[in-house]
Amino acid sequence: MPSIYSTGYPTKSLSLVPFTSFHFILNKISKSPFSTATSPLSLLPPCPSTHHAKQAHAHIIAAGLTANGTIMGHLLAALALSPSTSSDYPRLIFQRIQNPNIFASNNMIRCLAKSELPRHSLLLYVSMRRSEVQPNNYTFPFVLQACSKALAIAEGTQIHAQVLKLGFTDDIYIRNALIHFYSVCCKSESSRRVFEENRQCCDVVTWNAILANYARDGQINIAEKLFEEMPKRDVISWSTMVMGYVQIGQLEKGLEWFREMRAKGLIPNEAILVSVLSASAQLGLLEHGRLVHSTVDSLNFPMTVPLGTALIDMYAKCGCIERSRQVFDRMPQRDVWSWNVMICGLATHGLGKEALALYQRFTSEGLRPVNVTFVGVLNACSRAGLINEGRYYFKLMTENYGIQPEMEHYGCMVDLLGRAGFVAEALELVEKMAVPPDPVLWATLLGACKIHGLVELGENIGKKLIELDPTHDGHYVLLASIYAKARKWEDVVRVRRLMVDRGTNKVAGWSLIEAQGRVHRFIAGDREHERSSEIYKMLEVIGRRLREAGYLPDISPVLHDIGEEDKENIIKEHSERLAIAFGLLVTETGSCIRIVKNLRVCGDCHEERNETLCYKLLIDNVEEQLLVHTPIVADPSERNKVSDVFREASAMGLSVCRTWAFSDGGARALQMSPGIYDERVFQGLDFVISEARKYGIRLILSLINNYNDYGGRPQYVEWARRAGVPINNVDDFYTNAVVKGFYKDHVKRVLTRFNTITRIAYKDDPTIMAWELINEPRCEADYSGKTVNGWVQEMASYVKYIDNKHLLEIGMEGFYGDSMPEKKQINPGYQVGTDFISNNLIKEVDFATIHAYPDIWLSGQNDYSQLAFMQRWMSSHWTDSRRILKKPLVLAEFGKSNKDPGYSLSGRDSFMSTIYRNIYNFAQSGGTIGGGLVWQIMTEGMEPYYDGYEIILSQNPSTSGVITQQSHKMTALGHMLSRPHAHSDEQT
């Protein structure tokens, strides 16, 4: 028997219903009073697509119900809720309704109001009134929506009059629509009058509408007062204030409001996220932008086109073009503007060829470029010096796509030609423009004259510029700089005097740097900063180092006829140098220092030779701070030491190495700030994995440190604090959503890393035995272990989601918590906020670990007491792992420091022999213990941690013998236990 199959309906639809039964249902509907509960319309989703509505329409036609005006009115109501903006289909339905009632008319008005032809709503409203169909309270919000979209101020005012005439002034929905209408039409006073007419008849939407009115009008102070008066606020209220501040250029204030909103626990919407990303992009505040991105991830926001485009723009403008490209590549959907922003971003970074390649991909996907697209393309040619390509695309734009050049296109071409020395061609292009060139074009040409020393032409253009725009200080300054470069000091004085006479003052240049959770602003010669004395001392260090490197200052931009030394002093106190000096004082080693300026960068710093020297100074300065702990993996010249220690360990029979995936083994962190990694350290880790593979060593890689140094837990919390996230203490690491987002991003980055040597992703590499969540987690805020337990559960699940091939352990020391209070007496006299039992019972954790440092934990007690403690410590954990956890146990760290009072080499060997004997005995008697990792084996020439635990194998033959003997014994035991019937079921 045939059946009807509806692909568009939800699962409760009439799909696969036998035809005869369905026909019976439709007949029943046609013979009874209409009920939406029994019609096909009731089966539509809340916001049906046009396809869904057409399916329901087909059912109605089949039932012979098209003459039923009520049913067709409800079909229009469904289409009014559809995401589609086309009005053609609803119009056809409406035209076939005889004598449409107010319900059908209202829904048709609503369909037209949201379409591309909103004024047609007004025509329908007029027609409805002529047919003597009386509007009701539902009519006017839809009509006013159409007026708002069409900016039909005259028609909207007439609608307002009819609202008054028909007595609907107290309807809250109509009041809200009126306030919104006047606001979008820039009639702020009219909007205010409607609001003030009846303040008692207001809801949160009313308040938000009047708030948006003042924010849109730039009256942010009034908006702020209204915000304080609001009886109730929602996320729209906060969003309006943030967007208001961003709109008028008070970007930092907008970011402050966003942070305050997040501190109150409100969930932002897409609009506010896009606004904050825009502010971060304009200010170049990468940490704020990253905070928003982490918020997007933590709240599982869908990556919509507006949000993705805003992220691309933010990362590009903050200097992270690779991150920008990653976001672009991962977007599920893109529109023309997404492509434009990416092309413009690549162009701004001087990646001209990459930008042109992306443009070719853009057109190959069938997209048509718009005027902004060619601004990016021509800018790419300008930044990369691609003269012929620039000429080609300028011609392509006009002849193939019919896009008439605008000022921005001419500006790019003039800049391209001017920089390359084709000043005459650039001048000809300007003079042949169909529209009069604006001052910006002449200023660009004047800049080219300055670069190439064309004093006479520059003087003529400069005079023209000053006539065109006598109030712009930049024109005077640029002309004066041309005279100064030619050493025409009298002309410099003349231009300066003219500038003063006309009341035009030079805009003060400033530089911003984001550091320590604040934005710091500097101007030239600034001594107002709280750390001013330290900054100027750092400037002296910078100056001395630059002179030693052969730096010669370019003093030509100094527009004063003064001594050379005085000019040098002016140059060295430029705002960007002050910001760099401050950055060197406060940013951590290896971090990128980002400076944002309001004017063109200092020519002296960025002249090619001096820029190279300045860069070398910054690199050398970072390296100088790292000499305390010489990197052993990031520096390729040191990697032979890694090979040596693996070769020696392998020869002794050792098979597992535990090391860091958060630093280079020294003081250089892998992750310098959220999402920013030191590629040298990553390549060093690549080398470690490849060498371990070569010598048959399996690796346990720890993902983060608990302690302050080497990419530790406190650093993650500090990153969040600097980004404006409210932080109570370092233990917020375990609970704060933003900080947890930073950690998850790091996990994903490490696990999905593609090894540059082995060509294998870490998560697929069998050389890696296990991941460790954190080296020695501790939580002073909650000694019960429950806080850490929640964090372990979440992060263990996340790691296994990315990589379920490798084992996972937590990195715990073994301290007991509240799950078994009687066990706390085993602890060495204090708590650390972990719970060995409950933490390791989490199913994603594959094996447990303990650490043992009795010389630290029981400092001052003799060797006998320390060994007695070790016996209890190991025995208790072995028993618990066997009977309760039913998981393997590894003694992941133990040793004896040569800094311990009474230390001797023989005492250390005796201590290690005892530990190894316990491990062997536990393993032999059956159960779960898997081995012990001594802290820390090194080879000659490696830089130690200076904690006294280092064991240099070639220099300690007796200790090497102890380790070798244990290794061979454990290997033999492993072979024996692996033979069939070599052990009992209990031992298994």
Q: Indicate which residues carry an active-site annotation.
A: 776, 893
Residue with tokens 């609202």: 163
- Give me the residues paired with residue 676 across strands: 673
Backbone angles phi, psi at 658, to 5 degrees: -105, 130
Amino acid (one-letter) located at 594: R
- Give me the residues paired with residue 507 across strands: none
Handedness of CA 129, 132, 137, 138 (dihedral sign): negative
> What are the start-end ranges of the H helices in 549-678?
564-572, 575-586, 603-606, 608-625, 639-651
What gap in Å lies between CA 209 and CA 223, rounded to an integer?
A: 11
What tokens were used for 539? Answer: 């400037």
What gap in Å lies between CA 867 and CA 550, rounded to an integer?
A: 61
Backbone angles phi, psi at 850, to 5 degrees: -135, 155
Residue with tokens 């406060």: 586
Q: What number of CA atoms fall less than 13 Å from residue 845's CA on the CB side?
A: 30
Amino acid (one-letter) located at 353: K
What gap in Å lies between CA 910 and CA 131, rounded to an integer?
A: 106
What gap in Å lies between CA 294 and CA 979, rounded to an integer?
A: 51
- Give me the residues paired with residue 513 across strands: 520
What gap in Å lies between CA 714 and CA 718, rounded to an integer?
A: 6
N-term to C-term CA, the chain: 61
What gap in Å lies between CA 47 and CA 83, rounded to an integer?
A: 7
Cβ distance 35 to 78 under 8 Å?
no
Cβ distance 755 to 788 under 8 Å?
no
- Give me the residues paired with residue 889 across strands: 848, 929
* Closest CA relative to residue 717, chosen from 743, 751, 678, 746: 743
What gap in Å lies between CA 969 and CA 971, rounded to an integer?
A: 5
Cβ neighbors of 194 (< 8 A, separation 6 or more) are 175, 178, 179, 182
What gap in Å lies between CA 481 and CA 882, rounded to an integer?
A: 81
- DSSP for 223-291? HHHHHHH-SS--HHHHHHHHHHHHHTT-HHHHHHHHHHHHHTTPPP-HHHHHHHHHHHHHHT-HHHHHH
- Compute how many other C-beta atoms are within 10 angstroms of the C-beta atom of residue 651: 12
What gap in Å lies between CA 60 and CA 26, rounded to an integer?
A: 8
CA 721 to each of CA 80, 404, 637, 724: distance values in angstroms, whole numbers, following the listed order: 46, 49, 37, 5
Tally helices (H) and strands (E) across the chain.
Answer: 43, 16
Cβ neighbors of 403 (< 8 A, separation 6 or more) are 369, 370, 371, 374, 397
Q: What number of CA atoms fall less than 13 Å from residue 800's CA on the CB side?
A: 15
> What distance separates the 2 farthest-apart alpha carbons in the chain?
109
Residue with tokens 């602003």: 521
Q: What number of CA atoms fall less than 13 Å from residue 342's CA on the CB side?
A: 27
Parallel, antiparallel or unpaired: strands 3-4 and 17-18 = antiparallel
Q: What number of CA atoms fall less than 13 Å from residue 201's CA on the CB side?
A: 15
- Give me the residues paired with residue 894 across strands: 852, 934
Distance, C-alpha 916 to centroid of its chain: 48
